[in-house]
Structure 1
């Protein structure tokens, strides 16, 4: 009971501190994982270039800051680094966007262990570091695959120390979502001649309201746990779905009252001066990581929107 009271007092003091320093208005940073593209087998689809260019063009036209996180194994085609795929990364930089490290092989820390995972982080900057140097930049941001950051406080601290030593900052995610299920359904439909264009349009019409519901849910969670709207960080992926729907998605976010900011600006919110404190097997939103470490549980997280059953069926997945 004493420990619970201490946690409650500390949380209250933390909220007072962050509330007094918070800037007005709602802000959101767009982050995009799994560059250069989510689905890249040894032989890329013929229309990949068109979809890749469409996604970048839509984002550039929107005039918003964006950071993409790279898995370098996707640069390999038929056993060698593909200049075409490296150019895809250069296209992001030429558009004025930032790039970060997502580990070479999108490894799961909780499966491979700390040593293999940290080796893979370094392997994930063999192309990225010299490429960024061409633009007078260097790898600065790291995003954990699966948002897995350590089974224990010792493992999490060791990884944090490694990242700090190598000049990385962690890119958190506050608005987590199952966009990947919508994307898989859309991807499969694009490649199935029996799947009609109307089905793809239906997926987009469902996807944007789903993401609106997710944003509103995490707004509520922010208000519940921090007493205000913190700067949000949205997780998306480089895929066919977003190439088709990103305009509608960004319009919806603006209509919800958000101003788009860079990841650097978002993390200037004083709420991020405190580590999330979560040690565990899951990979939840940063908001939930913080709340779990503070002792919240169960009903405190109720009401999170779910992917509709028809999308699960189209994606051929059992659940989220």
Structure 2
């Protein structure tokens, strides 16, 4: 997601500059100068970029619930959970408890979908009850929605000697004033929550909408295969982009936090997404490890209407020029058309 008032995108930026340099300082007499053959394996490891990333999945147990029946949601849910289990990487899903209900009544089979995530080795966090928009409902109603969002989640986790520890803002909208942001953080801390940021923001929801529409197309199989292939490439471009943004802003690539959603497209591409990221040299880590990086202690000074990446929030707080935000990969026009959308 880009800043609220983006400028025209500048010409393509250069890739990450070479970070390593060779020090040819004068040596005292009698001191040997190390040759490449003399380097140890540990020395070589120090020159290898430490690329780390967290997999986070929003809108559990399934994006389309409660708009569709549980029976309609289960096939995709099972594919996604199976892929998560096979991948064997840390993952955390963020729950909207309102999706567990039908006509105000808890559905046992939907609650069981959350147990499937835990059985697959994932952890769970709070994403509010109704996917509330803080900017629309205001802080008191939002806080109430957070507490409503743990009525099933907390006992479910306690039964496994866990507790909900992470909170993710719906729409990544975190407050329109410094006072509201500070009040929300105090409220979350009082209830033992920490905010789960996002650095690799993207529009997977648009691709997912196009994927659903493609089901009814004449050449559905070929079209969905093209969507999957191009979606993987799009996500790779997003990860490359935010890696460079982190280097430009912080001087290094922080442990990235990636956002996707519980939908059919990600169920069908999860293994390929993981493989694509690993091919780029990333290793998957848990959210707790990522958040130990000092970058995440930076203040989120952004109070605009959108929900941008935390890297962009920090850049906005530092008053980076508009050119800093250029070149972010966009959803292709043909996908936008298929999703029946005019803009991201």
What TM-score, normalized by structure 2, do the two folds share? Answer: 0.84
Corresponding residue for 2:92?
A: 67
Corresponding residue for 1:84?
A: 109
More helix by share: 1
- Please list, as runs of the form range in 1=range in 2, the aligned pairs for 1:129-278 lying within 5 A after superposition: 129-190=154-215, 192=216, 194=218, 196-278=220-302
1:125 is aligned, of 150, 153, 161, to 150
How many Å separate the matches in 2 of 1:61 and 1:244?
13
How many Å separate the matches in 2 of 1:312 and 1:195?
18
- Structure 2 residue 54 is the aligned partner of structure 1 residue 29: yes
1:117-158 deviation per Cα after TM superposition (whole angstroms, max 9, x unaligned): 111000111111111111111111000001111101111111
How many aligned residue pairs are there? 297
CA gap 1:43/1:302 in 2 versus in 1, 3 angstroms: closer
* Deviation of 1:193 (Å): 6.1
Q: Secondary structure at the match of 1:99?
A: strand
Corresponding residue for 1:58?
A: 83
How many Å separate the matches in 1 of 2:72 and 2:66?
14
CA contact (8 A) 1:101 1:125 kept: yes
* Deviation of 1:96 (Å): 1.5
How many Å separate the matches in 1 of 2:253 and 2:68?
44
How many Å separate the matches in 2 of 1:180 and 1:312?
11
Unaligned runs of 5+ in 1: 1-22
Alignment RMSD (CA, Å): 1.4
1:194-237 deviation per Cα after TM superposition (whole angstroms, max 9, x unaligned): 46111111110110000011001101100100001100000000
CA contact (8 A) 1:182 1:207 kept: yes
CA contact (8 A) 1:42 1:78 kept: no
CA contact (8 A) 2:70 2:109 kept: no
Corresponding residue for 2:4?
A: none
* Deviation of 1:280 (Å): 2.1
1:8-59 deviation per Cα after TM superposition (whole angstroms, max 9, x unaligned): xxxxxxxxxxxxxxx9510000000000000123542645322211111111
How many Å separate the matches in 1 of 2:193 and 2:124?
12
Corresponding residue for 2:141?
A: 116
1:279 is aligned, of 293, 299, 303, to 303
* Deviation of 1:77 (Å): 2.0
CA gap 1:46/1:277 in 2 versus in 1, 3 angstroms: same
Unaligned runs of 5+ in 2: 1-47
How many Å separate the matches in 2 of 1:247 and 1:133?
30
What TM-score, normalized by structure 1, do the two folds share? Answer: 0.90
Q: Secondary structure at the match of 2:53?
A: strand
* Deviation of 1:61 (Å): 1.0
How many Å separate the matches in 1 of 2:163 and 2:70?
31
CA contact (8 A) 2:58 2:259 kept: yes
1:44 is aligned, of 40, 55, 69, to 69
CA contact (8 A) 2:241 2:329 kept: yes
Q: Which is greater in Rg?
A: 2
CA contact (8 A) 1:42 1:77 kept: no
How many Å separate the matches in 1 of 2:78 and 2:92?
16
Of residues 24-33 and 36-45 in structure 1, the stretch that sits farther from structure 2 once superposed is 36-45
Of residues 29-38 and 245-254 in structure 1, the stretch that sits farther from structure 2 once superposed is 245-254
